[in-house]
Amino acid sequence: MKSAIVERLGQADLLLPSLIGEALAANDRVKLRLSVLQAAARRATEPSSPGFDLAGECRTLGIDQAALEALVNHASLSAGNRISAPGLGSLAAAIRDDMAAMIRAVSAGDPAEGDRAAERLAAIQTAAPFGTADDIAYRNVARLTGLSDGDGDSLHRLVMDLHKAINRLAAANAEEIIAGAHVYALGPEDKAAVEAFMRGVNATEKLRFGHPGLATMATRVGERLTIQNDIGETDAHVVVITVEADAVAVTYTDVHPPRARFFTVLFHDFSVAWSGLERKSAAGLGDDGAFYLVSGRFAFANNDSRDAFLESVGASLVFLIDWNKARKVLREWVPKSDAIRVLAWAARHRIGHRAFLELGGSELVAAAIHHATPTRIGFGERLDRVLGRDAAVDFLKTVLRVSTEALLHGNSVRLARDRIEAALVGHLQRVDSMLLAIMIRQAGLAREIAAAIGCFLAQRAAHQTADSAALTEQARRIEEKADRIAIEARNEIARFNADRAIEQLINKAEDAIDELEQAAFVASLVPSEIPTELIQPLTDLCAEAVAGAEALAIGAAATAEVPEGHRVDSEDAVAAVGRLIDIEHQADAAERAATARILTGAFNLNTALSVLELARALERSTDRMAAFGHLLREHILADLSA
């Protein structure tokens, strides 16, 4: 029992069982010490009498035998009929302490009886002073150790009377164990409430993994049942629950204010009225004698809602053990608010953080980084800067879950580490997949320009009005948008320290769009009357460019799913790469057909040059798409081999 903080909270009722235990031990000690005082007096007046013979009693009570043996064996009678012995003053001080412990227990059970005992002790000390030096008047020994003196009272008589009072208290507060809680003087209506609280404690207690804490005691005094749990090892870390006729009051103390605030948010399913966080002072508790207190009150309509709340309180306590340590470890990898977010999730899902700490904490995460992705995450770099904030939180949740499962089910630590490393690789691959999705947007823009050029040429072939300026402006806007997307992608690649192959893919897609924008510009300069024999190869080239953009989008989309392990997606991605290469070959053929017709025909210079340059620009765009395909194939194979 953390007596200092419990007493500071005004819950002295909870201290009575421990005070009784201390008083009974003090009773045994004081009787031995009075026997030592008698033995010393006998040895002083009769030097030939037997020496110290209380060694067995000393061992039983855990008292230093050597000191008391020296006291008895070296006792002597000095002038003035006084007994002198080494350590006599220390013996008197120990007797006073034992008497104080016995009176303290009696006072806790019956203050009036305790006051009378204190008055008797004061009177005895006045009539027969214990003294503080290593000597005492011989006549006072009899007054202290005898059953009575001339006035009918003695220290020995007071010890006997106190012992009887303590035995009555002990009988009235007999200990019982209910579901693991030490309970005293409960009423018949209290058992269900204690059992509900302990259901919660026992449901999650295994998640402390051997850490000390969670000892519970309960007692009834007057109209209320009081339950106390010491949580962990910190002196000021306790929770005291009082159950009354229509409400449960919770008082929680802690030396860490963030943990105290965290405690209050664990009960969002219950309408608890919480106080503010109060800073308190008490010598020996917390840094500079400071600790923090928060209290809450839950009004219940029936015993079922009361028991549900008590069970929730009991179940939450294990998640406070080493909470601050876990928070500090998680803060090495994510911001403070996200560290608390992870811990709240772990408590809500009854996973906890103790297993994570047991398996190494920060070292567990660092090892996963070192083994799985040493080139992607630098030393000391936070995970949210590499994975993104939400992904980093999700990964740490996985770390806590895997750690807990490993210790609960007896799995090997090596297997747990492998699962954590695999989870980290998966998150990094999802980052890559997100970046690959940017290429789908690029492919859509490429198709839009190629389709616009095809529509423009079809209008020319049909002798319809085609707006050259509109085509050029449309292509320019699309190309500028594609540039912004590429810049955004490069920034994300740098931020996530992503695979540089993805940046190369984005560059190739951007190159294809640049070529198509150039093709749109050239198309706008082609004379309005295009000979029929030149229209077909240009139309074929536009169709190949449109098909290439579509294959590029299909390949990027399928590749984004490959890290998830779907074989069909890898097959779709490889098929798209093959399609891009075929398209590039077909575009080559169409471009050569256009070149051959121009060079073997009789066309005016403007027509010949503009058609030839348009064909080459469209063909170059498919070249860039084919180069994209080759890089994509390498990226797919690298992912599959990994």
Instruction: Identify the weakest region by mean pLDDT among 73-77, 197-201, 431-435, 485-489.
Output: 431-435
Q: What is the pLDDT of residues 437-467, one digit of tens each?
A: 788 888 999 999 999 999 999 988 888 888 9
Separation CA 13–CA 18 (nearest Å): 10
Q: What is the pLDDT of residues 112-165, one digit of tens each?
A: 999 999 999 998 888 888 767 888 888 888 888 876 545 568 888 898 899 888
Please indicate whether residue 497 or residue 268 has the higher confidence score (pLDDT): 268
pTM above 0.75, yes or no: no
pLDDT for residue 173 is more than 90: no
Q: How many residues does the chain have?
A: 642
Residue spans of the domains in the chain: they are 13-172, 177-321, 328-411, 426-641
Residue 316, pLDDT score: 96
Cα-trace Rg, the chain:
43
Separation CA 608–CA 596 (nearest Å): 11
Separation CA 332–CA 369 (nearest Å): 13
In the chain, the amino acid numbered 73 is N
Residue 288, pLDDT score: 60
Residue with tokens 């995460």: 365
Q: 510 vs 448, 591, 636, CA distance in Å? A: 14, 22, 20
Q: 599 in helix, strand or coil? A: helix
Residue with tokens 């004061």: 122
SS (H, E, C) 84-121: ECCCHHHHHHHHHHHHHHHHHHHHHHCHHHHHHHHHHH
Residue 149, pLDDT score: 47
Helix axes 413-461, 532-561, angle to 10 degrees: 170
SS (H, E, C) 55-69: HHHHHHHCCCHHHHH
Q: What is the pLDDT of residues 372-400, one digit of tens each?
A: 666 566 666 788 777 778 888 999 999 99
pLDDT for residue 315 is more than 60: yes
- What is the CATH class of 426-641? mainly alpha
Q: Output phi, psi for 291, to 5 deg.
A: -145, 170
Q: Which two tokens stand for residue 372?
A: 């799985």
Q: Which two tokens stand for residue 628?
A: 């994209």
